[in-house]
Structure 1
Amino acid sequence: MRVIEHPRVAPERRWGAEQYRTLELAGQSAGAIYHLMTAMIVPRPIALISTVGEQGQLNVAPFSFFNGVCSDPPILSVAIIRHPVSAERPDPESRLKDTARNIRRTGEFVVNIAPVSLAAAVETAGKSWPTEQSEAEICGLEALPSLKVAVPRLGNCPIQLECRLERIVEVGQGPTDLVLGRIVEAHAALEVFGDKGRLDVDRILPLSRLSAGSYAGLQESFRFVF
């Protein structure tokens, strides 16, 4: 990790009002606005969520509208956008993603934080697969037993957060399922701890999402000394 002394910070860049383009959102489609949002809200952490399907299969899918909410109690949020309307999915219930449906049914899930080395598996897991198929098997991911929930965690990820459902809030016209989960157990690989026994993000090397199907890794971390 690079340490920067405060007086030597590079001068910030500024733009005049005439150097901006205003992006009018009114009248744009939901898809167009989604692409704008995913290009502007970057980078986004990826929650590689494992759930158990109705037939007992281990479903795995990545979601990047994901973040922490509070620490007392420890709550995280994941926004799961439903499938678009189609002949096969005419109503909101039929447009639920498998992950959201499994969470609604079981009330449990695991958020796995994928490292950069798992990017290909994350991309594959995010494709559309039949409900009865296990993305964990397709991607060759290792299932480990969890301690507090019935859903397995992924041994390919350095961080795993076992969660129980707090509530689901339906947001917008889709609607989007905003999942709030309470972290009931957390796991971290031994090798991602630093010399002082604290988690070291430079060792976790988390994968993040950008726009237009692109990803990013942690190129450099730094902190300030005042």
Structure 2
Amino acid sequence: MSGFLLRDLSPHDRYKLLCGVVVPRPIALVTTLDANGAVNAAPFSFFNVFSEDPPLVVLGLQHKADRTPKDTTRNIHRDGEFVVHMVDEPLALAMNDCAVDFPAGESEVAATGLATVPSVNVSVPRLAAAPFALECKRSVALAFGPGRELLVGEVLRIHARDGLVNEANMYVDLAAYRPIGRLFANLYTYQRESFAMDRESHAQWSARVTAGNGAGEAPKES
């Protein structure tokens, strides 16, 4: 098999292939404010953390079919502020409801009954039910064609639900967190099982291979 040359595929087929291959992806439930002060909320699975110094996240923003910006894009262009909420199991249904194509000007937050609380460093409220909320400001936005933008945002503050972060070592309790991930189409995944692999120095790796303990063996579930 010689692979798939993406320029020969339709955009829809490229989307299906890329979304099916690059899995699981984290989900950002993003709140912004519209021009009238209503809170907009929209989920994004083209999302990830990009850097810690400076602290940056990236969002893939998609325009509507007629090439006009969606609410989140328009609001960030205007105000430069947004809040990224991580999605855990209890928040999953509300996140999916926020993906409904509500008419412009109608708040997904109000429609779904999600409670909000004030942020500290940005004017956009955050969702009270989220396990983590990242207050962000726009750093740079790059347009790639008429329908796609890459947004880079600086994380100003992280809010965490009580009990999720050990402040002594800044470790997150994954069992208490229980995030979900995006696969493709309408499929999502739990993150309930994990395994550990130590990162060795070259000397440690050489000693282990020389001793006959193998290299590249399958990890064992914890």
Bin the TM-score by the shorter chain.
0.7 to 0.9
Does the 8 Å contact 2:175/2:192 carry over to 1?
Answer: no
CA distance in 1, matches of 2:64, 2:98: 16
1:181 corresponds to which of 139, 150, 153: 153
- The structural deviation recorded for 1:215 is 1.0
Letter in 2 for 1:125: C
1:116 corresponds to which of 84, 89, 95: 89
1:148 corresponds to which of 115, 118, 121: 121
1:191 paired residue number: 163
Number of residue pairs matched? 198
1:34 paired residue number: 15
Return 5+ residue gaps in structure 1 as ranges: 1-19
Does the 8 Å contact 1:114/1:156 carry over to 2?
Answer: no
- The structural deviation recorded for 1:117 is 1.6
TM (normalized to structure 2)?
A: 0.84
1:54 corresponds to which of 27, 35, 38: 35
CA distance in 1, matches of 2:30, 2:16: 22
2:79 paired residue number: 106
| SS of alignment partner, residue 41 of structure 2 | strand
Higher relative contact order (CA 8 A, sep 6+): 1
What is the root-mean-square deviation in Å for CA atoms of aligned residues? 1.7
2:111 corresponds to which of 138, 159, 162: 138
Letter in 1 for 2:140: R
CA distance in 2, matches of 1:136, 1:174: 28
- The structural deviation recorded for 1:124 is 1.0
- The structural deviation recorded for 1:78 is 0.3
Alpha-carbon distance change, 224 to 27 in structure 1, aligned in 2, over 3 angstroms: closer
- The structural deviation recorded for 1:167 is 1.1
| SS of alignment partner, residue 39 of structure 1 | helix
1:78 corresponds to which of 50, 59, 63: 59
Alpha-carbon distance change, 130 to 221 in structure 1, aligned in 2, over 3 angstroms: same
The ranges of structure 1 where at least 4 consecutive aligned residues each deviate by more than 4 angstroms after the TM superposition are 194-197
| SS of alignment partner, residue 123 of structure 1 | helix
1:44 aligns with 2:25: yes
Letter in 1 for 2:120: L
Identity score, percent: 34
CA distance in 2, matches of 1:195, 1:164: 25
Does the 8 Å contact 2:64/2:147 carry over to 1?
Answer: no
Moved more, 201-210 or 176-185: 201-210
Return 5+ residue gaps in structure 2 as ranges: 201-222
CA distance in 2, matches of 1:224, 1:195: 24
- The structural deviation recorded for 1:142 is 1.2
CA distance in 2, matches of 1:81, 1:222: 35
2:4 paired residue number: 23
CA distance in 2, matches of 1:29, 1:224: 39
| SS of alignment partner, residue 31 of structure 1 | helix
1:4 paired residue number: none
Alpha-carbon distance change, 21 to 211 in structure 1, aligned in 2, over 3 angstroms: farther
CA distance in 2, matches of 1:82, 1:213: 20
